Amino acid sequence: MDSKIVSLLRKRREGLSFQKITRELHLSPREKQVLSKRLKKLQGQGVVLRLKRLYYVPAKSNLVKGKFSPSPRGYGFVSPEKGLSEDIFVPARHSGGALKGDIVEVLYREKGKKGKPEGRVIRIVKKGAKEMVGLYSERMGQAFFLPFDSPSSEEIPITCEKQVSPHPGMIVEVDRGTLKLTDVLGMPDAPGVDTRTIIKRFSLASSFLEEVLAEARGFSSEISAEDRKQRKDYRNWLIVTIDSENARDFDDAVSVRKLKNGHFLLGVHIADVSHYVKQGSSLDSEAFERGTSVYFPDLTLPMLPEELSNHICSLRPKEEKLTFSVLLEINRDGAVVKTKFYPSIIKTAERMTYKNVYKIFQGDEKERRRYSKLIPHLLLMKELARILRKRREKEGSLDFDLLEPELVYKEGSLHSIVPFERNEAHQLIEEFMVTANEAVASFLSLKNVPLIYRIHPPPGIEDMKALREMLCHFNILLPSPKKVNSKDLQEALKKAEGKPEEKFISIQVLKSLRIATYSEEDAGHYGLAKKKYTHFTSPIRRYPDLVIHRILKRLLRQEKEKMSSLSSVALQSSQQERNAEGAERELIKWRIFRLLKEKLGEEFYGIIVDITKAGLVVELDDYFVDGIVFYSDLGRDYYFKKTEKTLIGKRTGRKFELGDRLKVVVVSVDPILRRMGLTICPTGKERI
């Protein structure tokens, strides 16, 4: 019967009701009962869909599997496993009961209301996590649970064991299948509860299995004579690491020399993690599952056990370490004219920080005396980095110099939020790493070796159309959406430099771009303006880099070891990267909102970053989070002009537009849901 049902529905693309199917197939009353069961089974398999009482066989091109990620505002997104290069928007009413991390099947259309892919979840293929995290409450003797990661805002009745006695308002964990309370995390403001909640919500691994730890402990920190074989010895080279002050996992070290022909010899020396973490080992399986290290303000969840990440593999000062060196001869125009790749051994001369290198560049006498032997070396690095940066900008690379929040603690408590600024020392390392990554990608591609690319597809036409219209308000013109390239966007960013609207425009340009991912198929890197690009320079904290090390080493040694499935590595690494970034971002936002809760009634400046049906979305200047000014707080005079994204007063003529600067008052804050209510000061509007 299944084949008859499917064949009929394929012919009748408009869909058929149950009654029409029975008539078309001339079924008896008994066969009708069988039909009902067969349709349910076919729905469960995803072969047949039921929408508004009609049954369909969907076109395969409009069905895709992917991981579901809900938004605190109800809607969600699905990251396709393959096929589409951008996420599918799922309205709250079409989420199908999916929760964070679920693998779902989505029926989608390529152009939804906003010109982007939009769809509905038709079935949950695989549940992402056994447990849910949310808020506990009680009513009339019944325990209830409000999940954080459900598009629905409805509470669920749950059961509790007698030995577990949570209080209303606590964050708890509930088994998704049985709806039984399994763990009590504590009150939201209690120390450490926010971190534990985020770890649970994002299904992050917070510990290692004993077999993984035992494998890591089995390595010696001493480098044997056998390990030194077939390696270049760069222990006498002047090599340094430059990292943040609190870094412990040093992936990369750098060196620069001036050659007789006037060219530079850039050495990028990367920890040889592949020497220790072999394909198929317990360590490798764990690293694959994690995909990346996760960095919280007060905790790191490393991809590899600390025995490796912070000790044996980490390029600590004045210790002999096994590395993979990329040597690049670069001319005065910043072009790479020769590349060499070697397994190597190094001993770094110094562990530098971005802060003290920048101070040296600024002429700080104390730092210059302290590192006097390194000054010529560092200044040569600075010279080369500027040349590389100039060339990259000429090629059309996009550089978003947006400030990020840095949390300042005093006596264990969050004291303030300050902007984290990238200085020339950060840019120096970035230039060297980008150059090395591109060189590795180009070399492997030239040798026709399959690899994992770091890709960044060009933006969609609809996104460029919306961006073009927005930039017109600031007298910045872009070519037609189909012709916009990265150089055009770079020029737009330059025109906004130094102007009040600079931050707003940078944010909007960034939002218009697609997300960078990993792929076994090359698609170039739009943001960096690179035809070939990969990730090679951080194998301690990123799994794709470790795989690229293995591929390069196998090629150089002419080994025939079978590699892991690159498509599965690319998909898993892309998903885990986004999950980790989401977790890091959510915890920081939670803490910022908690700090803002102590500032109710205080005034702040911000800019309008969005105008929705609900109100004006305003990002506060000094806190890097946004809140909403509800229309109900503005009075009945205003109406929303959707096409222009403006709010206009009928009587007053007062107009609110994207990019307007406002003075607002914080009136409500919910740190857990990351929501903030704002009102406008009576004289608080000033146009950027």
Using the predicted structure, report yes or no on whether residue 443 has a pLDDT greater than 90: yes
Domain ranges of the chain: 2-56, 60-126, 131-187, 210-457+516-587, 461-512, 599-686
Per the model's pLDDT, the better-predicted residue between 86 and 659 turns out to be 659
Instruction: Give the helix/strand (H/E) hosting 369.
Output: helix 365-370
Options 3.30.1490, 1.10.10, 3.30.450, 3.40.50; CATH for 2-56 is 1.10.10
pLDDT at 52: 65
Q: Where are the alpha helices (DSSP H) in 218-281?
A: 225-228
pLDDT at 684: 54
Round to whole Å and give the CA distance between 158 and 178: 9
- Residue 685: pLDDT band with limits 50, 70, 90: low
Least confident range from 161-170, 267-276, 312-321: namely 161-170
> pLDDT tens, 218-237?
999 999 999 999 899 999 99
The CATH architecture one would assign to domain 60-126 is: Beta Barrel (2.40)
Conformational region of residue 79, where left means phi above 0, alpha means psi within -120 to 50, and beta covers everything else: beta
The residue written with tokens 């707003």 in the block is: 504
Per the model's pLDDT, the better-predicted residue between 110 and 320 turns out to be 320
> pLDDT tens, 504-550?
999 999 999 999 999 999 999 999 999 999 999 999 999 999 999 99
Round to whole Å and give the CA distance between 353 and 426: 9
- The mean pLDDT of 309-333, rounded to a whole number, is 98
Round to whole Å and give the CA distance between 33 and 141: 42
- The mean pLDDT of 289-313, rounded to a whole number, is 97
Round to whole Å and give the CA distance between 291 and 672: 27
What's the mean per-residue pLDDT of the chain?
Answer: 91
Using the predicted structure, report yes or no on whether residue 688 has a pLDDT greater than 50: no
pLDDT at 365: 96
> 440 is written with which tokens?
């590795």
DSSP 510: H
Using the predicted structure, report yes or no on whether residue 312 has a pLDDT greater than 80: yes
User: Is 517 in contact with 426 (CB distance < 8 Å)?
Assistant: no
User: Is 136 in contact with 166 (CB distance < 8 Å)?
Assistant: yes
- The mean pLDDT of 246-261, rounded to a whole number, is 96
Q: Please, which residues bridge with residue 327 across strands?
A: 267, 340
- Residue 113: pLDDT band with limits 50, 70, 90: low
- The mean pLDDT of 585-592, rounded to a whole number, is 96
N-term to C-term CA, the chain: 67
Conformational region of residue 192, where left means phi above 0, alpha means psi within -120 to 50, and beta covers everything else: left
> pLDDT tens, 50-92?
776 788 777 665 788 999 988 877 788 998 887 677 889 998 8
Using the predicted structure, report yes or no on whether residue 111 has a pLDDT greater than 80: no
Q: CB atoms < 10 A from the CB of 357, how many?
A: 24
Using the predicted structure, report yes or no on whether residue 151 has a pLDDT greater than 70: no
Handedness of CA 369, 371, 372, 375 (dihedral sign): negative
- The mean pLDDT of 25-42, rounded to a whole number, is 85
Round to whole Å and give the CA distance between 432 and 437: 9
pLDDT at 9: 85
User: Is 251 in contact with 267 (CB distance < 8 Å)?
Assistant: no
pLDDT at 14: 73
Options 1.20.200.10, 2.40.50.140, 1.10.260.30, 1.10.10.10; CATH for 131-187 is 2.40.50.140
Q: What angle do CA 521, 524, 529 make, to 5 degrees?
A: 170
Question: Is-same-fold flag (2-56; 599-686)?
Answer: no
Global pTM reads 0.88
pLDDT at 439: 98
pLDDT at 548: 98
The CATH architecture one would assign to domain 599-686 is: Beta Barrel (2.40)
Round to whole Å and give the CA distance between 75 and 612: 14
Chain center to CA of 23: 52
- The mean pLDDT of 567-572, rounded to a whole number, is 94
